[in-house]
Amino acid sequence: MIKRLAKCVREYKKSAIMTPVFVIGEVVMEVVIPLLMASLIDNGINAGSMNFVLKMGVALLVCAVISMFFGGVAGRTCAVASAGFAKNLRHDMFYSVQNYAFSNIDKFSTASLVTRLTTDVNNVQQSFMMIIRMAVRSPMMFIFSFIFAYGINAKLASVFLCVVPFLMLGMFLIIRKAHPLFKRVFKTYDKLNGIVEENVRGIRVVKSFNRQGFETDKFQEISSSIYNDFVKAEKTIAFNAPLMQMSVYTCMMLISWFGAKLIVDTGATELTTGELMSLFTYTAQLLNSLMFLSMIFVMMTMSKASAERIVEVLDEKSDITEKENAETTVKDGSIVFENVDFSYSKNADKLCLDNINISIASGETIGIIGGTGSSKSTFVQLIPRLYDVRNGCVKVGGTDVRDYSIEALRNEVAMVLQKNVLFSGTIKENLRWGKDDATDEEIINACKLACADEFVEKFPDKYDTYIEQGGANVSGGQKQRLCIARALLKKPKILILDDSTSAVDTATDSKIRKAFREEIPETTKIIIAQRVSSVQDADRIIVLDDGRISAVGDHDELLKTSSIYREVYESQVKGGDDNG
């Protein structure tokens, strides 16, 4: 885990290395100062020599300035290294997510990924900052203070050896108990973010059903769970402060007692007053370094769970990989399914698609119809290789999709998904997702094909109209037509519409299909629909039932041969008559 995270330091390695160097310089100056103070007291003040006092005073000032300089530079390099490390972490995580297959994304919830990219990265950043500065300063301060104290008087310095093991045992027990609690808290954060995201997205539904109270109670429950876990963890960590204070005061008391006794008994021959004062300073430095070390361990305890969650994202390998010499050219829009089996889980007992065999000619228009859960969307998602088949193969242009470069394949397959997504930006910016360098003429033509120009031209800013996040300021039908136009700009060999005209009226739906027939006859068109009217003029219609192909034929053939198709058709015709 540490090796994986360390790779994210990269260009900030120099700052990360220089920080401990400057910290060590700062520590050396700080432990030299008590020695100079002891000499000033014994050889200056007690001896009555003002020249020596001035000389030591200048030396103390120089050491303090050098220490301040090293500390300031260490703080700057530490800030640069930690902020850069966090930036690289977020970059690498986001880049990893972009390369995931859909099956990989299914393992992580949206809320979980957001928490990992924000809260977890912040926790790891804080730990990294403490590691390269405080985790160097505290041990160095402990070692140098102990060495200098031992050099002054070995007997008194041995007091530390009695207290330190007791302190470290207490810190170990605290950390051992607190870590599982923090780990549980961050998992609960995922649920909290999920609830907030769900509530914000569905706020119109919440208000229309007057369910604000229910949503508030749900949020309160998960928020209370986080509060309770944090309280338990903080209560455990709270023992750290009294444990540290007890250790410091115990050392102070023992050194004061034995030190004063030693000065009196030996007439200040084995220990002077100045040396006793410096031992007090070293005691404070030594035990404070342990206190900071305990704070580092607490922070590490909190961030360990975060680090594990970040590494999970970084180490997740895409289930979809390319061959070394992958095909980069898709010959045409023909599609062949050969004995295809598929399930979203490798351990699933039931297949989503079972023994699918179908050949689709380039330029053919195919309709797909079936009940809810019949795997219509799953069927088309195998074509651009959003998922890989479990058995069999899917061929596009006569080549197995697994032999293509993913970029090359998906550039020739345009999908308008069931859930239409528009991004914040102008209409032009959204449409250019289909083609980066699309001209205004190409954009207008694509919108005409998708019947989107009818409403875009009515906007005051027309194609420069700003679209809110998620397309909140356009209707469902308008959003669908813009998404179709975006797909058409790719000029793909295969166009897939996954129930993408469900929110438009039948007249507009008919116009779109007519435009497809006349303007893009060479493009293979696959249309998933709930309405028979949306697919009845297709060259062929595939009827899916429970993951299997129940029937294939044109509209008239299926009315005669497929009971499922006939039942759907008659129910919609009768429904239309009733409404009339």
- Using one digit for the tens of pLDDT, what is the confidence trace for 396-436? 998 999 998 888 888 888 888 777 778 888 888 888 888 88
Q: What percent of the chain has pLDDT over 90?
A: 11
Tokens found for residue 220: 């309160």
CB distance 390 to 396 below 8 Å: no
pLDDT at 580: 36
pLDDT tens-digit readout, 336-392: 999 999 888 777 678 888 889 999 999 899 999 888 788 888 888 899 888 888 889
On the question of pLDDT at 488 being above 70, the answer is yes
pLDDT at 422: 82
On the question of pLDDT at 469 being above 90, the answer is no
CB distance 281 to 37 below 8 Å: yes
Residue 389 CA to its chain's centroid (Å): 28
Whether 326-412+493-580 shares its CATH topology with 422-491 is answered: yes
- CATH node for 422-491: 3.40.50.300
Q: Residue range 141-165: average pLDDT? A: 81
Using CA atoms, how far residue 120 sits from 138, 308, 311, 315, in Å, is 25, 9, 11, 16
Following DSSP, what letter does each residue of 498-526 receive, concatenated?
ESTTTTS-HHHHHHHHHHHHHH-TTSEEE
pLDDT at 579: 41
pLDDT at 574: 65
**What is the pTM (predicted TM-score) of this model?**
0.66
On the question of pLDDT at 320 being above 90, the answer is no
Residue 203 CA to residue 28 CA, distance in Å, equals 59
SS (H, E, C) 457-479: CCCCCHHHCEECHHHCCCCHHHH
CB distance 134 to 299 below 8 Å: no
On the question of pLDDT at 557 being above 50, the answer is yes
The domain made up of 326-412+493-580 has a fold known as Rossmann fold (3.40.50)
Residue 446 CA to residue 426 CA, distance in Å, equals 16
On the question of pLDDT at 304 being above 50, the answer is yes
**More confident call, 218 vs 19:** 19
* Segments making up each domain of the chain, as ranges: 13-315, 326-412+493-580, 422-491
Identity of the amino acid at 279? L
pLDDT at 167: 76
On the question of pLDDT at 518 being above 60, the answer is yes
Over the chain, what is the mean pLDDT? Answer: 83
pLDDT tens-digit readout, 180-237: 777 777 778 777 877 887 777 777 777 777 778 888 888 888 888 888 888 887 788 7
Q: Residue range 294-298: average pLDDT? A: 73
Residue 436 CA to residue 442 CA, distance in Å, equals 11
Q: Which range in 67-81, 92-106, 154-168 is most confidently predicted, on average pLDDT? A: 67-81
Q: Which range in 17-26, 279-288, 474-483, 524-533 is most confidently predicted, on average pLDDT? A: 17-26
On the question of pLDDT at 551 being above 60, the answer is yes
The domain made up of 13-315 has a fold known as ABC transporter transmembrane region fold (1.20.1560)
